């Protein structure tokens, strides 16, 4: 017990120092509660305001797709270089050790396979399980213009409502149907609808033309998906252009884990996202790390 006799009489209230009241560093998210902002700060690096999310949730509708046959062998060695892991609860519980302390964004929608109409999905995780697994955000697919557009939007709003009750943010993932045009006009529509209806941040695809209008008209942060595997230099150019045009980072999967040198690639992506390195310099880094093995 503290010795009461030794209590100091003098106290310092620092009357000349006003208490700091800084705005939260992520766009459009200033009015959120402490728990929400704290979880978002575990996803988006507070120093750069950006994130490198490593996405490997593809199995939820594709099964053991190329590069994800053995997540323990191929993906876990990449995990230390990601700001956050995006995965399903099945993989989280079966493969990721609970001692892993980086943030988790958990896929919370599902119900269809690649053999059927993908937009016909629902919320596939109870909010209680997200809390149990201590996730930093929940991800839900939204199919604007898709066959089950309304159902997928309502999935998202339900998840936003559930997450808001417990301080867990929702990531809306804009899914593009096979027949839809992937252009800035479509992504402005899709991302804005998700933000208007409460998503805390949004994953979309990069488009060469007018991508900055997509980020400008979306009031909350945008991250880009990597999409199909392309040459490493091209993937780095895409990431560079996206962040320079207002994206708050990447949620990249195949272009990292299907690379010939995945660890070198994720390090190169990090340099583009967090250090504003050019794609060419990042590619040099990739090459030299690859050579070193």
Catalytic center residues: 203
Among 26, 253, 269, 283, indicate the residue that binds ligand R5P (CB under 6 A).
253
**What is the smallest separation between the CB atom of 237 and ligand R5P, expressed in angstroms?**
15
Whole-number Å distance between alpha carbons of 46 and 38: 10
Report if residue 49 touches ligand R5P, rule: CB under 6 A.
no
Among 26, 40, 55, 218, indicate the residue that binds ligand R5P (CB under 6 A).
55
Among 39, 254, 270, 274, indicate the residue that binds ligand R5P (CB under 6 A).
254
Report if residue 226 touches ligand R5P, rule: CB under 6 A.
yes
Identity of the residue, 86 or 159, whose beta carbon is nearer to ligand R5P in the bound complex? 86
Report if residue 227 touches ligand R5P, rule: CB under 6 A.
yes
Both tokens of 231, joined, read 């040459």
Select the span of 50-58, 115-123, 145-153, 158-166 touching ligand R5P (CB under 6 A): 50-58
For residue 92, the number of C-alpha atoms closer than 13 Å in the C-beta half-sphere is 26
Report if residue 58 touches ligand R5P, rule: CB under 6 A.
yes
Size of the site for ligand R5P (CB under 6 A): 13
For residue 4, the number of C-alpha atoms closer than 13 Å in the C-beta half-sphere is 0
Q: What is the DSSP string of 67-128?
A: T-S-HHHHTGGGGGG-SEEEE-HHHHHHTS-TT--SEEEEE-EE---TTS-TT--EE-S-HH
Name the nearest CA neighbour of 190 among 149, 232, 225, 134: 149
**Helix 279-292 and helix 232-244, axial crossing angle in degrees, nearest 10:** 140
Identity of the residue, 82 or 225, whose beta carbon is nearer to ligand R5P in the bound complex? 225
Name the nearest CA neighbour of 43 among 117, 139, 112, 108: 139
Whole-number Å distance between alpha carbons of 123 and 273: 31
Identity of the residue, 55 or 279, whose beta carbon is nearer to ligand R5P in the bound complex? 55
CA quadruple 178, 183, 186, 189: dihedral sign: positive
Both tokens of 207, joined, read 């488009």
- Residues 173-202, interacting with ligand R5P (CB under 6 A): 173
Q: 192-219 burial string, b = 16+ CB within 10 Å, else e?
A: bbbbeebbbbbbbbbbeeebebbbeebe
Identity of the residue, 29 or 225, whose beta carbon is nearer to ligand R5P in the bound complex? 225
**What is the smallest separation between the CB atom of 257 and ligand R5P, expressed in angstroms?**
8
**What is the smallest separation between the CB atom of 140 and ligand R5P, expressed in angstroms?**
10
Select the span of 16-24, 97-105, 236-244, 245-253 touching ligand R5P (CB under 6 A): 245-253
Among 83, 121, 232, 251, indicate the residue that binds ligand R5P (CB under 6 A).
251
For residue 229, the number of C-alpha atoms closer than 13 Å in the C-beta half-sphere is 11
Report if residue 235 touches ligand R5P, rule: CB under 6 A.
no
Identity of the residue, 121 or 277, whose beta carbon is nearer to ligand R5P in the bound complex? 121
Whole-number Å distance between alpha carbons of 190 and 48: 26
**What is the smallest separation between the CB atom of 31 and ligand R5P, expressed in angstroms?**
27
**What is the smallest separation between the CB atom of 75 and ligand R5P, expressed in angstroms?**
12
Binding region for ligand R5P (CB under 6 A): 55, 57-58, 86, 173, 225-227, 251-255
């Amino acid at each position: 017990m503290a010795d009461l006799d030794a209590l100091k009489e003098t106290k310092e209230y620092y009357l000349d120092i006003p208490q700091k009241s800084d705005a939260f560093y992520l766009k459009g998210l200033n009015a959120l509660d402490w728990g929400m902002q704290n979880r978002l700060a575990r996803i988006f690096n507070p120093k750069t305001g950006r994130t490198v999310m490593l996405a490997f949730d593809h199995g939820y509708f594709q099964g053991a797709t190329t590069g994800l046959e053995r997540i323990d062998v191929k993906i876990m060695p990449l995990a230390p270089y990601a700001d956050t892991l995006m995965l399903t609860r099945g993989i989280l519980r079966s493969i990721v050790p609970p001692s892993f302390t980086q943030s988790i964004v958990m896929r919370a929608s599902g119900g269809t396979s690649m053999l059927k109409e993908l937009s016909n999905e629902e919320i596939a995780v109870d909010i209680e399980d997200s809390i149990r697994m201590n996730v930093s955000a929940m991800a839900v697919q939204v199919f604007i213009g898709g066959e089950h557009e309304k159902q997928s939007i309502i999935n998202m709003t339900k998840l936003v409502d559930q997450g808001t009750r417990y301080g867990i943010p929702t990531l809306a993932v804009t899914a593009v149907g096979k027949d839809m045009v992937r252009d800035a006009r479509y992504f402005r529509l899709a991302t804005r609808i998700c933000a208007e209806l409460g998503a805390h941040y949004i994953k979309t695809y990069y488009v060469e033309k007018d991508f900055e209008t997509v980020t400008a008209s979306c009031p909350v942060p945008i991250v880009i998906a990597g999409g199909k595997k392309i040459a490493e230099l091209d993937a780095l150019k895409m990431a560079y252009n996206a962040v320079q045009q207002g994206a708050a980072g990447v949620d990249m999967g195949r272009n990292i884990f299907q690379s010939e040198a995945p660890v070198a690639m994720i390090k190169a992506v990090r340099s583009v996202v967090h250090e504003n390195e050019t794609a060419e310099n990042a590619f040099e880094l990739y090459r030299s790390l690859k050579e070193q093995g």
